Structure 1
Amino acid sequence: MRLKKELHQLASSFNGSASVQIQFTDWSMEINPNKKMKSASLIKLAILLEGYSLIEQGELTSGEILPINPEMMTGGAGIISRLSVSRPFSVQDMLTLMIAVSDNTAANVLIDLLGMDRINERCRQIGCVNTQLQRKMMDLSSPHENWISSRDTVLLMRKIYEHPLHQDMIPVLSGQQFRHKLPALMNPQLFVANKTGELSGVEHDAAIIMKEGGEPVYAAVLLTDFTDSDEALLLHRKIGKLLSQYMMNNLSGQ
């Protein structure tokens, strides 16, 4: 298949390490799908899934208020730590902020609420063999790291799409504010729900992509060990554009 060959050539030519999985309904393209990489903010997909799973099970309510005090604030991405006045947020607020603006304070509050062990157990239950949440966001003093792979990332996205509360989770992902990687050059007629992740030397993006009336396509592109971040961003955009062109031109109703 021409698309598979072009995707493989693009990712294989990258001057760094790549873990890629593109999953269509009846075929997939993979490069090092089980290669463990620093997860950066992709680990927040696991937190999102566990949060809504507990809501679905009745162990948590989306409207529950979570007080925030200055000691809970952390740096990096997000807006909570930038507010001049501490204020309470609901569980739904935290889940939304954690994804839409990748808020690290929200993620850490949710880790405390849900429990790191429970989040990891959920990952194991669904078959994510390379995913490990071992530290909070921006805990740079920790000797541990958070890990994920493109295979696990696609699996998390699939479980989110197939979840009983997908009607709540998918709008959170489609409200993503960081759309400068995979979605950047995609046709605006396509529906895209994505989550990015970045650290020094790390550029990740994962997306659920759909044509109206069609089945979802899952894409996870994880890049690390590079020296040129512009090259990494360009690869994301090229892969997204290829997928977009194929979906618009070749998939009937998808």
Structure 2
Amino acid sequence: MRKSNRKKQQKIRQRWALIFGILFLVTCFITFSTMKLMKGRQVQRAVTAQSVKKEVVDETSQTSQETSETSSVQSESVESTVESTVSTESSSATPEPKAEILDDSGLLANAAQVSYGVYYFSDDAYISNQNSISTPSASVIKVFIMSYILENNLDMQTMVNGEPLGELTRRMIQNSDNSATNAIIDQVGMDQLNSYFQSSGYMDTQLQRKMLDEQAISMGKENYTSLNDTMAFLKKVYQNKETYPYASMLELMQGQQIRTKIPSKLPADISVANKTGELSGVENDIGLVLAGDEPFAIVVLSNGVISSEGMRNAIGDFTLIALR
């Protein structure tokens, strides 16, 4: 009986041991599963948090960049506004110098065609009506003949028609002597002179006839020059006035006896080196006005002159206006 009871109790213990074992296994499984699930959730949360953090950082960076760009644009805008204001104030304080203008109404009122220019050596300023067309030169062409003689260093003692070349040259310039000029043209040759004019850059200056050659005039032949050529000649003389042969050219022109145009209304103490020229309907004068600190070259060439006296007065007035 006791033996039967022992077996019965042993079976009961085995059952409970089995039950406890199964419960233990179930508990372990549940615990393991719970821990795995919790770990997965923690990982997911970490990933989510990292993603959120990255988005926040990106948004913050983008916002910072946009703020920086906005600040930069605003800064540039402010700087631009300041610079514009400063520029405007500076512009208002120091306006651009206006171009110098000379009253040419007197010249234009007395001739159908006028070419004029005034060049100031002190500040390289040039005022002109930019009308450098080929114009009848009249006796102004004589300065180019003088230039040929002196630049080629011709012997001034050479006898031409019984007179020294130097004396003929002086009368040609200072007295506008046509006979002396024609003697020089015959001596040198018209073709030689024209070749010299071209090679020297006086492209509009041309000698087609001797002085007062009525036959050549009736054939339509004329002597020509231009504003550009005469101004170039005057500038060359002045800029080389200390050296031969230009010093001699200046001296000859300073001895000019015909003073009815450029020098006519200037103060007596101002030295002028000029050369006039006139024909029917033509009044020309070119010269250097040696006015202290403001020397200048002046050219007035005209054609279709209405009144010779009126044009001569107008040239005198214009020169006085040009005097600084």
TM-score interval, smaller chain: 0.7 to 0.9
How big is each residue's C-alpha offset from its partner over 1:155-185, in whole Å with a ceiling of 9 and x where there is no partner? 1222334363122221111111100101101
| Whole-angstrom CA distance in 1 between matches of 2:99 and 2:322 | 8
- The answer on 1:51 being equivalent to 2:125 is no
Aligned residue number for residue 111 of structure 1:
185
Q: What is the CA-CA distance between 1:94 and the residue it aligns to? A: 0.6
1:222 aligns with 2:296: no
1:14-29 aligned at under 5 Å gives the runs 14-25=110-121, 26-29=124-127
> What's the CA shift string for 1:30-70, capped at 9, x where partnerless?
12431111110001011000011121xxxx21111222xxx
Equivalents in 2 of 1:65, 1:189: separation in Å? 37
CA distance in 1, matches of 2:207, 2:294: 30
User: What is the aligned partner in structure 2 of residue 42 from structure 1?
Assistant: 140
Aligned to 1:240: 319
TM-score of the pair, normalised by structure 2: 0.63
Code of the aligned partner of 1:18 = V
C-alpha distance in structure 1 between counterparts of 2:187 and 2:156, whole Å: 12
Q: Which runs of 5+ in 1 are unaligned?
A: 68-87, 247-254
Q: 1:216 to 1:64 in 2, by over 3 A?
A: farther
- What RMSD over aligned residues (CA atoms) do the two structures have, in Å? 2.0
Amino acid of the residue matched to residue 180 of structure 2? Answer: A
Structure 2 residue matching 1:5: 3-state secondary structure: coil
- The answer on whether the counterparts of 1:210 and 1:217 sit within 8 Å (CA) in structure 2 is yes
Contact 1:36–1:130 under 8 Å retained in 2: yes
* Relative contact order, higher structure (CA 8 A, sep 6+): 1
Q: Equivalents in 2 of 1:232, 1:203: separation in Å? A: 7
- Choose between structure 1 and 2: higher helix proportion: 2
Displacement of 1:188 in angstroms is 2.0
1:149 is aligned to 226
Residue correspondence of structure 1 range 69-108 to structure 2 within 5 A: 88-108=162-182
Residue number in structure 2 paired with 1:124: 198
Structure 1 residue 130, shift from structure 2 partner: 1.2
Please tell me the residue identity of whatever aligns with 1:188.
Answer: A
Alignment coverage as a number of residue pairs: 220
Contact 2:137 2:224 in 1 (8 A): yes
Q: Distance in 2 between matches of 1:210 and 1:113?
A: 33
State the secondary structure of the residue aligned to 2:103: helix
TM-score of the superposed pair, with normalisation by structure 1: 0.80
Distance 2:311 2:100 in 1: 19
Instruction: Letter of the 2:158 partner, please give it.
Output: E
Instruction: Give 1 or 2 for the bigger CA radius of gyration.
Output: 2
**Identity %, equivalent residues:** 29
